[in-house]
Amino acid sequence: MGRRSGILEFAVLGLLRESPMHGYELRKRLNTSLGVFRAFSYGTLYPCLKTLVASGWLTEEPGNTAEDALAAPLAGRRAKIVYRLTAEGKEHFEELLSQTGPDTYDDEHFAARFAFFGQTSRDVRMRVLEGRRSRLEERLEKMRASLTRTRERLDDYTLELQRHGMESVEREVRWLNELIESERAGRDLKGSAGETAQQDTTSGTTGGLPRTGEPPRPDTPGDTAT
């Protein structure tokens, strides 16, 4: 399973754990609530759904609302398919939620994991947050070393871009520090960390997750997840 498809499957299972949905509803939720999936299409989603059905983690059911029943014959098409999480799918998702390996610290995977922190145990949240912070601190150290080596060879605009990238990473590290402090104190995400996340997502500078609280993502050139 590729990393990108693995993240999508994780997100689909998580959303369907909340309630069954049509494919269109799933795509809308992925686009609007999980910012990491803004640029994907039905051509990506439906093969993923078919894979999950074949694995026994989802079932396909015909839409059973009055609107679906009337719309299908009138439009000359089949009724919408509703996707529902199976007991095996729920168990598999809970297993994925418990994972804290290096992939969970990467930019895209961390954003998806964070969106489902409300369904994740506190000890797992702590390990993921601390791993993410450690990853970013390593990145920040490398960025500072690189800037020191190349400062004299950079023009003013390139230098400013490098500084902007560093500030973005520094901002996320501060945000993570606040989250980790809240977790250690046993507090819900309603204090200063939540306020910081809201400020970052409404500023328009980080492409955050308005509904799920995606962390501010570094705008570092050439340093995106693969």
Could you report the per-residue pLDDT of 108-160, keeping only the tens digit for each? 789 889 999 999 999 999 999 999 999 999 999 999 999 998 888 889 999 99
Strands 81-85 vs 58-62: parallel, antiparallel or unpaired: antiparallel
Largest CA distance in the chain: 69
- Tell me how far CA of residue 34 lies from CA of 96, 147, 181, in angstroms: 17, 33, 25
The tokens for 50 are: 């078919």
Listed in sequence order, the DSSP H helices in 98-210 are 107-115, 122-150, 156-184, 192-203
Nearest to 200 by CA among 170, 162, 156, 225: 170
pLDDT at 41: 67
pLDDT at 206: 35
pLDDT at 196: 43
pLDDT at 186: 85
The mean pLDDT of 5-27, rounded to a whole number, is 91
Nearest to 38 by CA among 26, 47, 30: 30
pLDDT in tens, 40-67: 666 788 999 999 999 999 999 987 654 5
What share of residues in the chain are helix, strand, coil (percent, to 5)?
A: 70, 5, 25
- Which residues, 6 or more positions from 109, have their beta carbon under 8 angstroms from its beta carbon? 3, 6, 7, 103, 225
pLDDT at 199: 42
- pTM score, two decimals? 0.73
Confidence of residue 33 (pLDDT cuts 50, 70, 90): confident
- What secondary structure letter does DSSP report for 216? P
For residues 107 and 199, the model is more confident at: 107
The mean pLDDT of 88-94, rounded to a whole number, is 97
pLDDT in tens, 165-201: 999 999 999 999 999 999 998 876 654 444 444 444 3
For residues 104 and 190, the model is more confident at: 104
pLDDT at 78: 55
d(C-alpha 100, C-alpha 189), whole Å: 20
How far does the chain reach from its first CA to its final CA, in angstroms? 14
